[in-house]
Amino acid sequence: MNFTQIVYNGAKEIVITNNVSAYTSAHAGAGEYKVYSGLNSTNLIAAIDTLNNTITPGALIEEAAEDAIQTKVADKFDIIHAGGGLVYNDEGCVLMIFRRGKWDLPKGKLDPGETIEQCAVRELEEETGIEMLTIVNKITETWHIYNLKGKTVLKCTTWFKMTSTDKKTLIPQAIEDILEVHWVAPKDLAPYLGNTYQAIKDVFTKEGLA
């Protein structure tokens, strides 16, 4: 069985898959991606440098081990875990936040001693003021690369489908640069998803909303 894990490096993607040929056949434009054999720190660093310093639109790393991103690059990269949620209210609307010029979903880093589920609920409460949250199921995981104090970091966010019966006015967490919190009907999502990150679009796609 083929597997694919996308790691976002800004607007570009590094695709980790056990079948490069199948991926390039199924995705227009992927034939222009730089291809590497095997996921390890050397190849991942090379892929990041290529995407940062050339016009190459993406990278493909062919790797047989599905858990390689967790096990084969920890020697050179810090891996940070975070939790977030796609929340439905009683009317079937979903909760979105506006932060740093983009529509987003609430999320945040795992604290010591927390489970990832506890982290996701806490971050939802802190960033939006919402309460009465119930986790329904895990939707997916997304990965992205960013720079933290001069070190390249891999961040894995685990996303949960949640419900809430909370009907009070929600409060955006200003200290986290959140300006707005909106309930959005699925039929009205297009303009929001037109101004968001690809990883967030992936969450909506996995949930069947995009």
Tens of pLDDT, residue by residue over 76-95, are 888 999 999 999 999 999 99
Task: Check whether residue 155 and residue 108 sit in a common domain.
Answer: yes
Q: Print the domain residue range for 127.
A: 78-206
What is the rounded distance in angstroms from the CA atom of residue 61 to the CA atom of residue 18?
8
Query: pLDDT class for 155, splitting at 50, 70, 90?
Result: very high
What is the rounded distance in angstroms from the CA atom of residue 77 to the CA atom of residue 73?
6
Number of domains in the chain: 2
Q: Which two tokens stand for residue 123?
A: 């971050």
Decide which of 23, 44, 71 is a domain's last residue: 71
